[in-house]
Chains A and B, each alone.
Chain A
Amino acid sequence: MLIPYLTVGAILFALGLIGFVTRRNLIVMFLCTELMFQGIVINLVAFGRYPLSGQPMLDGQVFSLFLLAVAASEAALALALVVLLFRYKGTLDAGAWNMLRDD
Chain B
Amino acid sequence: MAILMIIAVAIGGVGLYLAMPRGRTRAGAAPLVVLAAAAAVLIGLLITKVAGHSTAGWFVPLSIIGIVAGLRVVTHRKPVYSALYFILVVIAVAGLLLLMDAEFLAMALVMIYAGAILVTYVFVIMLAQQTGESSYDAQAREPFLAILAGFVLLGTIGSKLFQSTAGEVVTDPVGPTAGFDDNVVHVGTLLLTQYAVGVELAGVLLLAAMVGAIAIARRKALDEPEGDIV
Total residues of chain B contacting the partner, CB 8 A: 99
CB within 8 Å of A: which B134-190 residues: 134-137, 139-143, 145-147, 149-150, 153-154, 157-158, 161-162, 164, 166-168, 170, 172-178, 183, 186-187, 190
Q: Give the residues in chain B near A59, CB-CB below 8 Å.
A: 190
Q: Which residue of A lies closest to B177 (CB)?
A: A58
> A40–B216 Cα gap in the complex (Å)?
28
Q: Give the residues in chain A near B124, CB-CB below 8 Å.
A: 27, 79, 82-83
Q: Is the CB of A50 within 8 A of B128?
A: no
> A72–B219 Cα gap in the complex (Å)?
21
Q: Is the CB of A55 within 8 A of B177?
A: yes
Asked if B29 lies at the interface with its beta carbon under 8 angstroms from chain A, I say: no
Q: Is the CB of B177 within 8 A of A56?
A: yes
Q: Give the residues in chain A near B100, CB-CB below 8 Å.
A: 5, 45-46, 49-50
> A84–B128 Cα gap in the complex (Å)?
10
Q: A1-B172, A12-B89, A92-B134 are in contact. Are A82 and B141 (CB under 8 A)?
A: no
Q: Give the residues in chain B near A79, CB-CB below 8 Å.
A: 120-121, 124, 213
The interface residues of chain B, by DSSP majority, are classed as helix
* Residues of B in contact with A (beta carbons under 8 Å apart): 5, 16, 20, 45-46, 49-50, 53, 55, 59, 63, 66-67, 70-71, 73-74, 79, 82-83, 86, 89-90, 93, 96-97, 100-102, 104-105, 108-109, 112-113, 116-117, 120-121, 124-125, 127-130, 134-137, 139-143, 145-147, 149-150, 153-154, 157-158, 161-162, 164, 166-168, 170, 172-178, 183, 186-187, 190-191, 195, 198, 202, 205-206, 208-210, 212-214, 216-217, 219-222
Further pairs besides A25-B134, A31-B83: 13, Cβ < 8 Å: A3-B161, A25-B136, A31-B82, A41-B105, A55-B176, A58-B177, A61-B102, A62-B198, A73-B208, A75-B120, A80-B217, A86-B127, A93-B134
